[in-house]
A and B are shown apart, each in its own frame.
Chain A
Amino acid sequence: MNENKSPVNWERLEAKPEFRALIRSKARFIICATVFFMSYYLALPILVGYFPALMKTKVWGEVNLAYIFALSQFFMAWIMAFVYVRVASRWDKSAASVISDQA
């Protein structure tokens, strides 16, 4: 049997325990991260729209809670991206080891 000539056995790769673990780890992170960032983001229009009096509370000089919360969304997005890249580089290693015998 010549490995190089046979087509890739996708089912075998998909059933590998390493691959299953990779998918589980990815799913867990992506679902948690999505729930977090969607809640954090949608809290902004909901609070601003339905609780304007609260959001007009001044925090620093004329700067109010609404503006601080909006600004914090930018940093939330950047931090999420940073964390994702860190975690994803671990996944790259596991992914490479799953397909290492295919090269």
Chain B
Amino acid sequence: MTISLIMFLGFVAFTLLITFWAAKRNTGASAYFAAGRSITGWQNGLAVAGDYMSAASFLGISGMICFSGYDGFMYSVGFLVAYITVLLVVAEPLRNAGKYTMADLLAYRLKPRPVRAMASLSTLTVSTFYMIAQMVGAGVIIKRLIGLDFAPAVIGVGVLMLVYVVFGGMLATTWVQIIKALLLMAGAILLSYLVLQFHDFSFTNFFNAVSKADYAGTAEPKNLLEPGLKFGVAVAGPWGPLDLVSLGLGLVLGTAGLPHILVRFYTVPDAKTARASVVWAMAIIGLFYIMTTFFGFGAATIVKKALILTADGKPDTNMVAPILAQVLGGELFFAFISAVAFATILAVVAGLTMSASASFAHDFFSNVIHHGKENRPGEEVKVARITAFVVGAVSIGIAIYLGPSVNAAFLVGLAFAVAASANLPVIVFSVFWKRFNTTGAVAGLATGLTSAIVLILLSPNGIFGKAGAPFPLENPGIVSIPLGFLAAYLGTILTQRDLEAESKFAELTVRAHTGLGSEKATQH
């Protein structure tokens, strides 16, 4: 307990030092929102990985693989393959044609006010759902790890994240994410090493043990390598397989629409560095998710069932990785893994707050309300800081109100579904389709956003519960993503051609594909 606390405090003190250092370098909007575009390829790659691998990834997936075996591993696969979409379609045009937010790319040739207002709404929705999930997770985990109660734990995380974002801006957020990514990789490698050591460094022994794990939510041994323990027809009913396909679609297309990932590409000097940073991120994220094989399956072969149950006898999926660390490496390693989990949550919520406040300040305040003119220098940054404060306070409030029992995976699923259904169609069309117009963009964003939310509310996770759900799938992607694309397409072809938008397509294409006239790095 005390070692955990010391490690927590050590991490907090170190990151506050970074914030102090970053705060002194925050001069102007480009420095605050985009770290002066001075982050290098490998640094941004680590930061993307740090921004992406949330507590849900580390704690959630290891728990899911331990309990659901192979089906849990499907998340790991989707989380990496998603980066091909980011690499091929989104990262470089976004860096070349934008400034601070996703909406910059959309507003380039379309009417800025309606498009930015909708894009900002979608960004705030995705970020808020994602953040509440992280906050709830944080509260639960910190309670288990250092015994702090749920509400004070959530408030503590919220206040720390606000300090990073409000004072340190994107530069501090970036370095918190880089350090977190390094810590998380160190923890994952060590954990995997200890699991393999337990099985005498023999893959045959390891997979043999996994195939007769005595722990899969039942008392009889189960072969965890076999698919179907979560989405199979026997477990999930006739819709299970389609739900799995829908989940895969949402994961692989959602990442390229997550605002907190997209804004990371503005922090590098040019599109070539943005590309390099995706490749770095893919190397790190891929290695990490392959290692989930070892500590996820490994936990099922090593940790005794009784250790991973909550007080009321239900499986506590979030505690699998820390308990595995405790069994294999003792108190010190448990403390380290706990501190890593804590760092993970802080880095992700800081990234989310950063992108939400940038979108509100830049898209909504400066461009929708003030028509793109800044009345006083520094006003945009000031508004962003105030927004960060409000977003943080609201998320803390909602997280405490919902309490520890809310389903965090439900909220993250919602965020991915909205990102894939609302944001991705309009990004793709605005870069690749000349005829695309403002009505199409607004229709695509609005339809994607509402269809994803409505379908989740009607799903077995939603308001009608498992039995009475009118929509049989937990993951809405397979319906809501095509709806988002369809609405963007129909909204465009059913309305008048926008000749101004079409004439600016030449400029956008040249900018997006050559980088001519893109935002430059600030010189220090």
Contacts and interface: CB of A to CB of B under 8 A. Distances in A.
B509 A41 contact: no
B283 interface: yes
8 closest residue pairs by CB, A with B = A49-B241, A14-B506, A10-B507, A62-B211, A95-B514, A45-B248, A62-B207, A48-B227
Interface residues of A, number: 53
12 contacts: A8-B516, A13-B516, A19-B513, A38-B252, A45-B241, A49-B242, A66-B226, A67-B70, A74-B80, A78-B282, A95-B514, A96-B514
A64 B85 CA distance: 28
Nearest to B505: A14
Interface in A16-53: 19, 22-23, 26-27, 30, 33-34, 37-38, 41-42, 44-46, 48-50, 52
A37 B225 contact: no
Interface of A: 8, 10-11, 13-15, 19, 22-23, 26-27, 30, 33-34, 37-38, 41-42, 44-46, 48-50, 52, 55-56, 61-64, 66-67, 70-71, 73-74, 76-78, 80-82, 84-85, 88, 91-92, 95-96, 98-99, 102
Chain B interface size range: 35 or more
Given A64-B226, A92-B272, A99-B514, A81 B279 contact: yes
Given A10-B510, A61-B204, A81-B279, A102 B516 contact: yes
B278 interface: yes
Contacts of B272: 92
B289 to A, nearest CB: 7
Describe A's contact surface by its main secondary structure.
helix
Of the listed residues B87, B208, B290, the one surrounded by the most CB atoms of chain A closer than 10 A to its CB is: B87
A83 B73 CA distance: 26
A78 B287 CA distance: 10
A23 B73 CA distance: 38
Interface in B240-272: 240-242, 244-245, 247-249, 252, 272
B513 A22 contact: yes
Contact of A49 (B84, B245, B282, B513): B245
Given A74-B290, A77-B84, 12 more contacts: A10-B506, A14-B510, A19-B510, A30-B89, A44-B248, A48-B227, A62-B223, A66-B227, A77-B83, A81-B83, A81-B87, A88-B275
Contacts of B211: 62
Nearest to A19: B510
A99 B516 CA distance: 7
Contact of A77 (B81, B207, B248, B510): B81
A76 B210 CA distance: 25
Nearest to B242: A49
Contacts of B226: 52, 56, 64, 66
A16 to B, nearest CB: 9
A45 B247 contact: yes
Contacts of A64: 225-226
A15 B85 CA distance: 28
B16 interface: no
A34 B89 contact: yes
Contacts of A23: 509, 513
A48 B74 contact: yes
A19 B228 CA distance: 49
Contacts of B225: 62-64, 66-67
B265 to A, nearest CB: 15
A67 to B, nearest CB: 6
B409 interface: no
